[in-house]
Structure 1
């Protein structure tokens, strides 16, 4: 008698192979061609500065794009990509308030090619580029839609200072999407809000944003949201002070490269740059507030060096278009001979750290230093505030509390005012 395993082995293998093939058909989405790439997610980040569309996919894709006129459209063809439920959901990702996009849609253009059509509200300058995997993201295709007239941070600041900038219904109707206005004409028409007295200008930099969430708390809190909330509260307090005004490097949930944050501060001729963050560490028991300034000699501690490296990696996660050269790069890199700026940074940092100690325990009793890219303005005193550890469950809860956010903002304001009371900016250094 033959061994049963020997007799039935070949048919059994064929049966199993057939069953496996059937299961593959059942779990494979209808119409998914073998070897085609899947779009895993589409994210849209609308803002006055620009709107970003990000497509995250499983494998590399080939693409081409063009601007089509009458009406204005950005058309992007994706080769080797399947038209699935993610792409079908695109129209619902655009809000009426988006400054630049009217509608986003996709469809099969020809076999193996999906066409994305971005219907626009006005002419734009698009930047289309790919990003390698970074952080928790896979490969990404990025569509950055910039206005043809770039947003001028100084103009925006002057508009808010001007009594003529009251938001009347007529003004709102004339500019419903808060899009940029002609720069020079507006500048010529605007007068300083407080006569000939030059207001102290403070650039507030809410860390992270858009594609870059920053640190994530145990309860799911995003650092980028907390930093924006605290920065907006601090801005309101500064704007309420006589002879002081504040500018935000971002006023919504969008990504700003580190170098552009510095450049925005220099464009408004800021007297102080304050970058606001919420710390994280591998151990949940780490806690306390910290204040950092730039180091020209190396980090003052291993933790400071680790934090600087983490914050400097924000451009990789957020997604910088490396194909665009920054014309101001040479001007904004650190000049190590300008020690006066670093000395002023230390003074204001000590003042702010002392006030934060009245609201939260301090992680370190002294100002720390490390090579933070965002602090490298050569002519502006700059500090980075780690409000608390979002990785600590107790501090994460407090960071989400509006009353606590307000106390943090109030403490930073007191520290800033105390510094400027002893170190007023020279009237001759920057015009009003």
Structure 2
């Protein structure tokens, strides 16, 4: 009996060993390949039926990239990728035992970077291969201070959330967050560009992915005066609804200060906008003071813009909370650029999703953000901007002294007599010594 039990156990263990061997030897399959094009890199995404180990190396003369994936087969069609605008001339495949070899024949030299992604709500296992243009990887020289230009535009960095491989939240009927917010971002840019003294800059100009830190880096590169990130919320309960406006929390600000101070000795980043200073040549105490001053000012302006936008959206949409909210979102952590995040509504809510996908509602949302931005900068324009100069001109005054006449004052300031009368609600040309007259813009 004992021998029989031992025999049955051995049979069981042998069967388990064979099963594990078959599992470990089971090949993953590449069932689809997609390509996304960004300004500084191209991204190849391989949809796989399971995880697989891989390695990447480059060859020259001619330039090629080789991707070896263990225990993997290929069932995807590589002929419909659309390589015309990419750095890849041709993608071909072959087998080396149980290893699948993919060879990318290149039009120009690029630097590859690969990583694996685990399954999420939309995709299964994925292998990602990024091909970075060489010029984008050259280590930047120390950043020069931005050139101060009198009468410059106020620059607004407009960040449409998600993009490319990351669709964001997906609502009823397949409406995707990345599409909705990109349309709102483009409409906001259009309105800003049409307004003298303002310029909108999109962090992404198409359907591709940018990292969270890459978004704030793009805003700093553009010397932005304000960073606006646009999103659409989602929740497991479809009844959740309401728009919201977010600024950086005090805890998030503290952690970011620590991050900047920790890396300042290796950083040529500038803080403080126009007339910025670098942290790398400052001692710890001075660097901490400068950062604290910069972030305090930035957070103050962020709250001001956010409150105005919150009030504007509240006029036509339900708000998730009756006040501006705070969090430690990575895209809000720039210490020198006022930054806000606008959640335009819950795309997981059928009613709000139906509104968000319409052009009329997207324009209404963009206009609410636009009005909040211009209202803030009309009150507090950055120095040396066109808006600041126009405001200064509108606030110009003259105190009447002995010998002054309304006609002489008008001529001296290059304005018409009628305009001077109108600006000061004068029914005639009589003025008195000590009277303060407002000088209208000529």
* TM-score (normalizing by structure 1): 0.69
Give unmatched runs, 5+ long, in structure 2: 1-23, 254-265, 272-278, 280-287, 386-442
Larger Cα-atom Rg:
2
Corresponding residue for 1:406?
363
Q: How far did residue 57 of structure 1 move?
A: 2.5
CA contact (8 A) 2:25 2:71 kept: no
Distance 1:400 1:329 in 2: 42
CA contact (8 A) 2:117 2:127 kept: yes
Q: How far did residue 100 of structure 1 move?
A: 2.2
Corresponding residue for 1:251?
205
Moved over 6 A (4+): 329-334
CA contact (8 A) 2:252 2:333 kept: no
**Which one of the candidate residues 382, 387, 392 is aligned to 2:349?**
392
Q: String of CA shifts for 1:118-160, please: whole Å, max 9, x gaps.
A: 23232212212333445554443221111111299xxxxxxxx
Q: Secondary structure at the match of 1:130?
A: strand
**Which one of the candidate residues 89, 99, 103 is aligned to 1:102?**
89
Q: 1:329 to 1:217 in 2, by over 3 A?
A: farther
1:416-427 equivalence runs, <5 A: 416-427=373-384
CA contact (8 A) 1:58 1:139 kept: yes
Query: Within the alignment, does 1:201 sit opposite 2:155 as a pair?
Result: yes
Corresponding residue for 1:122?
108
Give unmatched runs, 5+ long, in structure 1: 1-32, 153-182, 300-326
Distance 1:268 1:109 in 2: 46
Corresponding residue for 1:275?
229
Distance 1:134 1:284 in 2: 20
Distance 2:269 2:354 in 1: 42
Q: How far did residue 218 of structure 1 move?
A: 1.6
**Which one of the candidate residues 58, 64, 79 is aligned to 1:91?**
79
CA contact (8 A) 1:289 1:387 kept: yes
Distance 2:221 2:64 in 1: 31
**Which one of the candidate residues 241, 263, 268 is aligned to 1:287?**
241
CA contact (8 A) 1:296 1:336 kept: no
Larger mean CA deviation between 46-55 and 222-231 belongs to 46-55
Q: How far did residue 292 of structure 1 move?
A: 0.5
Q: Secondary structure at the match of 2:155?
A: strand
Q: 1:102 to 1:235 in 2, by over 3 A?
A: farther
Q: Secondary structure at the match of 1:264?
A: helix
CA contact (8 A) 1:359 1:408 kept: no
Q: 1:235 to 1:328 in 2, by over 3 A?
A: farther
Q: Secondary structure at the match of 1:150?
A: helix
Q: Secondary structure at the match of 2:351?
A: helix
Corresponding residue for 2:320?
363
CA contact (8 A) 2:30 2:46 kept: yes
Q: How far did residue 420 of structure 1 move?
A: 0.2
Corresponding residue for 2:296?
339
Distance 1:48 1:103 in 2: 20
**Which one of the candidate residues 126, 132, 135 is aligned to 1:140?**
126
Q: 1:236 to 1:282 in 2, by over 3 A?
A: same
Q: Superposition RMSD on alpha carbons, in Å?
A: 3.1
CA contact (8 A) 1:205 1:231 kept: yes
Corresponding residue for 1:376?
333
Q: String of CA shifts for 1:298-337, please: whole Å, max 9, x gaps.
A: 89xxxxxxxxxxxxxxxxxxxxxxxxxxx76998999566
Distance 1:74 1:358 in 2: 55
Corresponding residue for 2:431?
none
Corresponding residue for 2:250?
296
Q: Secondary structure at the match of 2:72?
A: coil
**Which one of the candidate residues 49, 65, 80 is aligned to 1:74?**
65
